Amino acid sequence: MIKIQLPDGSIREVPKGTSALDIANSISPRLAAAVVVARVRSLEPAPATNNEAALEASEEAMYSSHAPGSAAARIVDLNMPLTEDVALELLKENDPAALKVVRHSAAHVMATAILELFPETKLGHGPATDNGFFYDVYRDVPFTELDLAAIEGRMAEVVRRDEPFVRVEESRDKGLTDYAAQGEFMKIHFIERFTKPGDEISLYKNGGFTDFCRGPHVPSTGRVKAFKVMSIAGAYWLGDEKNQQLQRIYGTAFFNAKDLDAHFKHLEEIKARDHRVLGKQLDLFSIQEVAGAGLIFWHPKGGLIRKTMEDWMRDECVRRGYNLVYTPHIMRRELWKISGHEGFYSENMYPPMELDDAEYRLKPMNCPGHILIYKNSPKSYRDLPARYAELGNVYRYERSGTMHGLLRVRGFTQDDAHIFCTPEQVVSEIEACLDFAEAVLKTFGFKEYRVELSTRDPNKAGEFVGTEEDWASAEGALTGVLSGRGLSFQSFPGEAAFYGPKIDIKLVDVLGRLWQLSTVQFDFNLPRRFELEYIGEDGARHQPVMVHRALFGSVERFFGVLIEHYAGAFPMWLAPVQVGLVPISEKHLEYAHSVKARLEAAGLRVELDTSNNKMQGKIRDFGLQKIPFILIMGDKESATDSVSVRVRAKGDEGSVTVEAFLERVKKLVGEHSMEL
């Protein structure tokens, strides 16, 4: 007999070999029908997990469905015989872990369908993802959309057959031999990678289909109730572009049709906030084929928002002790050789232009320009810290398939600054950068963010420049500042730039998506390459510490994220048109013009609709443009020097005097208020 502890704390004694499904059935048949999978936790004290194993497990989990679960708690098949005392949790159709199991099982159903229709296909792996699942397969002939439809149809049949998922264990050698006979080269790779000689390997069978898989699965294919084959894409074998390309077939699955529908609705919502869609609808920016990919045209309304962002940023820089500088867009190739870009960044740079005096290259970064300004005159410790800031346009050659709206472009503007300081000043400078970064996020309406610290991988010292001591002190400074501020952060060893460690701030938008924007980085490399120095208090020459920092990251990318964050409904201070004026009839036009003049005199951005459309139509048009305030003016208003106020997303608020309205909105603008 073994002891099974249920979530309410009660303990049942059952014969060894009893399954979770048996227990569910003993509680109630309805529970047994609703439960998908079980989570068990050993009642013995959990053995200390060793770090290396945990690391390997996470690596496996990245591209394998064979990763072992944690020793403490693991998800198991409902019909797996329980052989020791465990705490048992029956997961029903409301549990995220259960959904993953459903999706992974859906991947097996899809593989079953694919092999039935296209037996020549070789299988890679088929994990669940955040939004569904995929299966990587290899076949000489690409699958067409018709094939995908056929696969989906056959999946429905496999589900209807309601084949039980049966776990089978067999010797590794037999598995390898069988797969070799079938030419399943990818399965062989996975077995060799994830199991050791002498291990038993686990297979899951449903009907005539068998897959090397560690599970768990739903009890039978009939439990995959709501699914859809989504799309097909190329994916490199083992994620390496030097390897052959596989066909990755994406699908998604949910517990029921309602959830599946909700998922598609959610996809539509995301599409409606897509900055590329809104950029067109609100006439903010464009990308033009005739000009080239990844190059942004800022239209008047987008330009106005950009100006507001830039004005704020420049003012704030000045207020915080930065000096604004400007540097050229093209510079001699010689400079890029000194900086090292010519060597290690060349792939991302536009090729040299040959002029009569020398070769020139477009700048991919602003650092060398700022360094030349620093170097132009001797510096004393009294001159430090020197903080040079620039909204610098840089051009980087991105590979053709990688551009994405405003978020990944070939020409963009960095709010870039470089701080040259003494080692003693570093901590307070980093502090100030983080303060500034927080101010940016807060001002533009982002409440949540995550902090990441990227450090050197000591095992790969050769890939990083700078001495042991440099790195130790720089990483210590960054860590110290972060903990000193009480910020929780995640460390990423090995993720540092080759020239120094960095802090990245990722903001979380309204949909919970993460965006990498702000970055604060140490640089041991450039000060040395350019032989930067300052005269210290001791009269000797010293090398300054250099800190790179960008807060918007790129103005283009930040704008793109901003559009999606607000779904185009910008707060008052950023809205390109702040007030829309609607005269009810032609005879109110004169009054409308006078109101417009008064609002504009107060610095507001106002649009007056003088068309002969109906007032309802004018309201609709302004509404679609997501203008914060619409003012309606008819007989009543013109007689009392007032306006009828309609607020975005709130509606009609009745009439107030022009003075009172002005008072209200000037406050909203001045305070950068998120509300209206």
Partner RNA sequence: GCUGAUGUAGCUCAGUGGUAGAGCACUCCCUUGGUAAGGGAGAGGUCAUGGGUUCAAGCCCCAUCAUCAGCUCCA
Positions in the binding site for RNA (CB under 7 A): 142, 144-145, 231-236, 239-241, 245, 247-248, 250, 276, 280, 287, 289, 292-294, 340-341, 344-345, 364-365, 398-405, 408, 497-499, 525, 584-587, 611-617, 619-620, 623-624, 630, 632, 634-637, 644, 646, 651-652, 654-655
Catalytic residue among 213, 317, 367, 421: 367
Burial class from Cβ neighbours inside 10 Å (0-12, 13-18, 19+) for residue 155 reads buried
Catalytic residue among 370, 379, 548, 648: 548
Least distance CB 173 / RNA (angstroms):
31
Yes or no: say if 110 and 230 are a contact pair by the CB < 8 Å rule. Answer: no
Count, residues in the chain: 676
Give the residue with the Cβ less far from RNA, 364 or 392.
Answer: 364
Contacts 24+ apart (CB under 8 A), 664-669: 665/572, 665/578, 665/579, 665/604, 665/629, 666/602, 666/603, 668/571, 668/572, 668/573, 669/572, 669/573, 669/578, 669/603, 669/604
Least distance CB 276 / RNA (angstroms):
5
Whole-angstrom distance, CA of residue 506 vs CA of residue 14: 50
Catalytic residue among 100, 396, 588, 618: 396
Give the residue with the Cβ less far from RNA, 86 or 371.
Answer: 371
Cα distances (Å, whole numbers) of residue 619 to 582, 612, 662: 7, 13, 20
Give the residue with the Cβ less far from RNA, 337 or 636.
Answer: 636
Residue 545: name the closest of 648, 427, 445 by CA. 427
Grouping H, G, I as helix, E, B as strand and the rest as coil, residue 521 is strand
Q: Is 160 noted as a catalytic residue in this protein?
A: no
Give the residue with the Cβ less far from RNA, 78 or 550.
Answer: 550
Least distance CB 339 / RNA (angstroms):
7
Tokens of 34: 């609703």
Least distance CB 193 / RNA (angstroms):
16
Q: Is 418 noted as a catalytic residue in this protein?
A: yes
Give the residue with the Cβ less far from RNA, 66 or 363.
Answer: 363
Alpha helices (runs of H) in 213-299, residue ranges in sequence order: 257-273, 275-281
Yes or no: say if 579 and 606 are a contact pair by the CB < 8 Å rule. Answer: yes
Q: Is 299 noted as a catalytic residue in this protein?
A: no
Whole-angstrom distance, CA of residue 448 vs CA of residue 431: 19
β-pairing, 642-647 with 245-254?
unpaired
Give the residue with the Cβ less far from RNA, 31 or 403.
Answer: 403
Give the residue with the Cβ less far from RNA, 23 or 430.
Answer: 430
Catalytic residue among 77, 147, 416, 504: 416
Backbone angles phi, psi at 126, to 5 degrees: -140, 75
Whole-angstrom distance, CA of residue 467 vs CA of residue 255: 55
Sheet hosting strand 411-421, strand order edge to edge: 323-324, 386-395, 411-421, 545-554, 514-523, 502-508, 448-455, 489-493
Give the residue with the Cβ less far from RNA, 94 or 231.
Answer: 231
Whole-angstrom distance, CA of residue 495 vs CA of residue 373: 30
DSSP E strand stretches across 31-85: 35-42, 73-76
Burial class from Cβ neighbours inside 10 Å (0-12, 13-18, 19+) for residue 257 reads exposed
Please tell me what DSSP assigns to residue 497.
B
Which helix (H) or strand (E) element contains residue 226?
Answer: strand 226-236
Least distance CB 561 / RNA (angstroms):
14
Whole-angstrom distance, CA of residue 178 vs CA of residue 172: 10
**CA 57 from chain center: how many Å?**
24
Tokens of 167: 């776990």
Q: Is 367 noted as a catalytic residue in this protein?
A: yes
Least distance CB 631 / RNA (angstroms):
9
Tokens of 290: 């005739």
Task: Compute the chain's Rg from CA coordinates.
Answer: 31
Least distance CB 251 / RNA (angstroms):
12
Tokens of 478: 């960054």
Q: Is 108 noted as a catalytic residue in this protein?
A: no
Give the residue with the Cβ less far from RNA, 222 or 623.
Answer: 623
Residue 96: name the closest of 122, 75, 112 by CA. 75
Catalytic residue among 247, 414, 425, 625: 414
Give the residue with the Cβ less far from RNA, 39 or 276.
Answer: 276
Catalytic residue among 502, 588, 626, 648: 502
Least distance CB 503 / RNA (angstroms):
13
Give the residue with the Cβ less far from RNA, 256 or 585.
Answer: 585
Catalytic residue among 379, 387, 418, 565: 418
Active-site residue list: 367, 396, 414, 416, 418, 502, 548
